[in-house]
């Protein structure tokens, strides 16, 4: 097994085992209860479609924001994604606001988490609602049915570790 494949396998293992514990911890005090299922279908983007968007040369590529835990972001994240804090926490939503505050309200934004299966993600619903309240009109949410490791890393889409 070559070193690149071994790295993907190790990343996937880490990203499948730890996210559920992280997500459960985020449901503690201050957590919002909007679920990922509250996000309209029209605002969802599939992993393959986002990968294609990111590979296509564009004058204004989408701003990709990870709205999950810092530990997950440091393990692996979508290349060029920006850490924006856990959407389920007040401090995370504050960081999210600061990351996007200067963007035009028409900017194309894609948020994702991938901490756990879609139905149990505590971060996407609150982050999406926050961006809507701020007046952003072009927000998409990456639909990761299982988690980031299974639905992005294991498919060989580009990732980066650390900052």
pLDDT for residue 11? 54
pLDDT for residue 19? 47
Distance CA 4, CA 10 (A): 10
pLDDT for residue 2? 63
Q: Are 78 and 123 in contact (CB under 8 A)?
A: no
Distance CA 3, CA 26 (A): 34
pLDDT for residue 34? 82
Q: Which two tokens stand for residue 60?
A: 């204004």
Q: Are 142 and 63 in contact (CB under 8 A)?
A: no
pLDDT for residue 157? 97
Give Cα separations from 33 to 30, 38, 47, 107 (angstroms).
10, 10, 25, 26
Local structure of residue 41 (DSSP, 8 states) = G
Domains of the chain: residue spans and CATH: 3-160 (3.40.250.10)
pLDDT for residue 27? 41
pLDDT for residue 8? 53
Distance CA 44, CA 104 (A): 21
Local structure of residue 124 (DSSP, 8 states) = H
Give per-10-residue mean pLDDT for the chain (163 aa).
Answer: 55 49 42 79 98 92 97 96 97 98 97 95 97 98 97 96 81
pTM as predicted: 0.81
Residue 113: helix, strand or coil by DSSP? coil
Distance CA 121, CA 123 (A): 6
């Amino acid at each position: 097994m070559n070193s690149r494949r071994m790295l993907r396998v190790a990343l996937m293992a880490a990203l499948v085992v730890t996210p559920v514990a992280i997500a459960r911890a985020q449901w503690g005090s201050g957590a919002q209860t909007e679920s990922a299922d509250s996000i309209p279908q029209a605002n969802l983007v599939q992993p393959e479609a986002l990968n294609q968007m990111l590979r296509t040369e564009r004058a204004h590529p989408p701003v990709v924001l990870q709205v999950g835990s810092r530990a997950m972001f440091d393990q692996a994240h979508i290349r060029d994604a920006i850490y924006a804090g856990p959407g389920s926490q007040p401090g995370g939503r504050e960081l999210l606001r600061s990351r996007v505050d200067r963007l035009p309200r028409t900017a194309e934004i894609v948020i994702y988490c991938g901490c756990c299966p879609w139905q149990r993600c505590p971060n996407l619903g609150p982050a999406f609602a926050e961006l809507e309240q701020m007046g952003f009109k072009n927000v998409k949410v990456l639909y990761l049915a299982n988690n980031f490791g299974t639905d992005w890393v294991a498919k060989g889409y580009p990732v980066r570790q650390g900052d």
